[in-house]
Amino acid sequence: MFCCQDAVTGTPVTMAVKSSLRVHLPVLLTIATNDALAASAQNIGRLLNVKYVFFTPFRQDDYVKKPYSLVADFTLIPKAVEAAQNCEQLEPILLAPLQKENKS
């Protein structure tokens, strides 16, 4: 981690996000994580309330085998970018699970 005078910043990416938020530029987060509904849930919840932070809509990708996992719908990135540029969250933010194909 890099220590600055006013905060701790981990990477160039987090420094860029911090800088963008400081001057009120929108930041779009597109998540894919196996612990979103476990260890990361609290942090995601906090970010949902931060002004100028927006999410690409996401869903549980396999709620049976990976119950804590969330993944963004990457096909929605262009629409999410457009919405974020207008300081709007693309809705719904939490998508229904994908229907599994029956392989019988």
Q: What is the pLDDT along the chain (104 residues), one digit of tens a residue?
A: 444 445 566 889 988 999 999 999 999 999 999 999 998 999 999 999 999 999 999 999 888 999 999 999 999 999 999 999 999 999 999 999 887 765 55
User: Which CATH number does the domain housing residue 45 bear?
Assistant: 3.40.50.1950
What is the distance between the alpha carbons of residues 24 and 95, in angstroms, rounded to a whole number?
27
* Per-residue pLDDT at 20: 95
The answer to whether position 97 is within a domain reads no
Domain count, the chain: 1
The answer to whether position 38 is within a domain reads yes
What is the distance between the alpha carbons of residues 104 and 101, in angstroms, rounded to a whole number?
9
The maximal CA–CA distance of the chain, rounded, in angstroms, is: 61
* Per-residue pLDDT at 102: 57
| Residue-number span of the structural domain to which 26 is assigned | 7-85
The answer to whether position 91 is within a domain reads no
The answer to whether position 1 is within a domain reads no
The answer to whether position 94 is within a domain reads no
The answer to whether position 72 is within a domain reads yes
CA-to-CA dists, residue 10 to 1, 15, 17, 86, 99, angstroms: 4, 8, 11, 28, 38
What is the distance between the alpha carbons of residues 72 and 95, in angstroms, rounded to a whole number?
9
The answer to whether position 76 is within a domain reads yes
* Per-residue pLDDT at 1: 41
The answer to whether position 101 is within a domain reads no
